[in-house]
Structures are given as structure tokens and as C-alpha cells.
Amino acid sequence: MKVRIFLFILFILFSTLPAFAQEDCSDQFKTELEHISGVEAVTQNKSGFLAILDNSNHKKTVTITSKINKLRKKRNGQCDFSGVAIAVIDNNFESIKNVSPKTLSNKDLAGLLYNYVYKLSPVQVEENLKGYQKLSELDPEEKYYKSRIEHYTNRSELLKTRAEYIARCLKDYPKDKDILDLKIKRDFYLFVVAGETPLKTAEKFMDKIAEEIPRPEKKMCVIAYNADLSNRETSCPDEYRPMLDSTEEELLMRHVQSLPGYKVLQNINGYAALKKLNPGSTLYTQKMDAYRAKEKGLQHFFNLRTVSGDKLISTNSNRAGTLYATINKQALEGKSESANHKLFRLLTDYYAVSGYAYKKCVLKNSGGETLGTITCNKSGCTFKK
């Protein structure tokens, strides 16, 4: 009895070995295919293999096909790949062809290609559309492929409309004196506007764009701030509410980071607004404190006094990132050139300690003549006459 059982087990073992070997050979062949340069992905089923290439260049396709044929003819231990059915398709899903003597039918090819297209991300709209169009071409009777083509065609049109509308908004807003800045992410629009009716101003601009180019069918979330970011208004569909806080913070951060460093008050307002959105952020606190220190230092610089108590800097202005400071004429009159140069050096040192909100500060006399320029960088400030 024991001998019979032993012989039966041996029979089962030897009868299943070819199946195991065949399965191992298929996996080995698929792995080696995937390692060929120019092959993006490989799908397989009982009918054979499909290699999806990473380009559509004819010359490269010929080279890759040659490598696949070379692999197919290679014998590796017990594995013989010569009878394997294999086809290749370019990354645009346009050209598909068999590259082995054993050919795959259109139905077989459709099954293999579907295994790849099905796993594409829904956000890969154009790839999905091209994939289902090819699948429908291979298997025209399959209604599911047609429904997917209709779905992704609509998605493609929606994306095109959205992209064109966004591009036009970004192109035209600098021409509108009421729109100070605009940041966009998909269906979220963040405006910084002049005046105290930010949402009304933003929507007026968007309506004007829609008169010339189609507005996206999908609803948009509009976030509008006034110039100093103290007044915020929104018009946002409920479906966007879960994403509103994080997206608004991202867009507002992009606005604040686009501000020049010398616009100290605007940076303070920007990080204060970000702090409201994310109170726990230590970065926003540090940035806000740093710009407040610069503003405080700048005011101290402007309020320097002479021995007689008069302001050392009588007037100041800024233009294109450069500070212009006019030295009180009483501070210069009757002084020697060396004494004045010493004063300018002291001003340079104090300006450096104050935080140099502007990288360049031009010193002038009351007659408008340039006395010299303070230039600052990370290593400090220098004065040049």
C-alpha cells in the first residue's frame, strides 16, 4: 500500500514539473523583455506577450524588434523561447505588429493591450484615449471600448478648455490694473486685487475672459484677497471644500514667495495671512518675525539724528528695489571730505545692522547729487563713492 502511494506521488510530481517549468520560463522571458532598452512595459497572457515601447521612432523600433528576436531565439537552460508569440506597439498605440513566426490575432492583441491600458491612471487622459481607440480598432464589436473612448474624449475636451482659459487668464491679468496677482492650480483661482471688493473684482475679470474664450464647464473655486491680504472672500463649490485649505495655502505661498524681499510690509502681510491658514507653522512665524525686524531696522535707520537733534536722513524713497536716502544738508555743511566719508561709513555699518531691507541704498545730498552707494549681500555691506 505504501509503495502504491509513493509511486502515485512520484507520478503527480513528474507530471506537474513541465507545467512549473513552463510557468518559470514565461516569467523569465517577461523579465528579460522588460530589461531591453526602449521597452516601457510588457503584458502577457496565455496567447503570448505584448511589448509596449517608450517611443514611436521607426528606426528605434526596428532596433528594439531585432533585440527581441535575438532574445526569442536564445535558449536558456530548459527554457526555449523560439515558439513564443510576441508583438510590439509604439507608445502612441499607432503601430502594432507581430515579431515572431507565431502570430497573435487582433482579439489576442486586444486582450494583451487591455491589460496595459486598464492599469493607466485616469489622469493620463490622452494615453487612455489613444489606448481605447486602438482597442476598439482591434476589437470593433466591444461596446465597452467605445464607451471609454466617449468618456476620455469628453475629458480631453474639458482639459483643453480649462488649459486655454487658464492660459488666457494668466496672459491678460497683468494688463488689468485691478488685478495685482493671480495664482492658479487646476480649478482653484487665487486673486490679489486692488480695492475692497475682492471677489466682485475677481469675478468681473473672469467674466470678461469668458466673453472671448469658453469658460470651463467644471465649476471653479475662486479665492480673492485685497492688496494687503486683510480682506478675504471666496466662492467655492462644496465639492472643493475638503481641498480648500491646503490648496489656498499653496497658492498664497506662491504669491508671497513671488514678492521681492524689499517689499517688507507686503511680505509681513503675506506671512501673517499664511499664519492664519496654518497657525502651527514655525516657518511662517520665523519669516514674519524676520521681515518685522527688517521693517523696524529700516525705521530706525530713517530716524537717525544728528547731534543737534535733526533727522540725519531728511527724505527717502524707493524705486525698482533701490532705496534713495537724502542726507540732511546741516549734517554735511562745513565738514571735511574725510569727516563726511567717516559719516558715510558709519551709515553703512548701521544700515547693515538694521537688516538692509534694500540691497542697494543710494545716498544723496539735498541738491540731488549722488554722494555714494551702499551695496549689501550676505557677507555684509560696503560703501562706494
The predicted model gives 304-312 an average pLDDT of 88
- Report how far apart, in Å, the C-alpha atoms of 252 and of each of 231, 270, 349 are: 13, 8, 35
Please state, rounded to an integer, the average pLDDT across all residues of the chain.
90
DSSP-based three-state secondary structure for 129: helix
What tens digit of pLDDT does each residue of 14-60 get?
Answer: 443 333 344 578 888 888 889 999 999 999 999 999 999 999 888 98
pLDDT at 236: 95
pLDDT above 90: residue 211: yes
Comparing 144-148, 150-154, 204-208, 326-330, which segment has the lowest mean pLDDT? 326-330
Q: Residue 191: which of 140, 235, 130, 246 has the closest Cα?
A: 235
Q: How confident is the model at residue 2 (pLDDT cuts 50, 70, 90)?
A: very low
Comparing 5-14, 122-131, 151-160, 282-291, which segment has the lowest mean pLDDT? 5-14
pLDDT above 50: residue 273: yes
- Report how far apart, in Å, the C-alpha atoms of 234 and of each of 92, 175, 245, 255 are: 42, 23, 12, 17
User: What is the identity of the amino acid at 195?
Assistant: G
pLDDT at 4: 52
pLDDT at 23: 55
pLDDT above 70: residue 305: yes
State the Cα–Cα distance between residues 156 and 162, nearest whole angstrom: 10
Phi–psi pair at 363, nearest 5 degrees = -90, 130
Let me know: does 367 contact 331? Beta carbons within 8 Å.
no
pLDDT above 70: residue 151: yes
pLDDT at 7: 42
Comparing 3-17, 48-62, 67-81, which segment has the lowest mean pLDDT? 3-17
- Report how far apart, in Å, the C-alpha atoms of 211 and of each of 9, 165, 172, 177 are: 80, 11, 13, 19
Let me know: does 234 contact 223? Beta carbons within 8 Å.
yes
The predicted model gives 242-254 an average pLDDT of 96
pLDDT at 24: 74
Share of the chain above pLDDT 70, in %: 94
pLDDT above 70: residue 12: no
Whether pTM exceeds 0.95: no
pLDDT above 90: residue 331: no
pLDDT above 80: residue 76: no
Q: How confident is the model at residue 307 (pLDDT cuts 50, 70, 90)?
A: confident
Share of the chain above pLDDT 90, in %: 72
Containing 317, the helix (H) or strand (E) segment is strand 313-319
Comparing 9-13, 64-68, 274-278, which segment has the lowest mean pLDDT? 9-13
pLDDT above 60: residue 79: yes
pLDDT above 50: residue 6: no
Task: Report which of residues 27 and 285 the model is more confident about.
Answer: 285
Q: Residue 234: which of 265, 206, 202 has the closest Cα?
A: 202
pLDDT above 50: residue 13: no
Task: Report which of residues 210 and 307 the model is more confident about.
Answer: 210
Hey, what's the cell of 303? 530716524
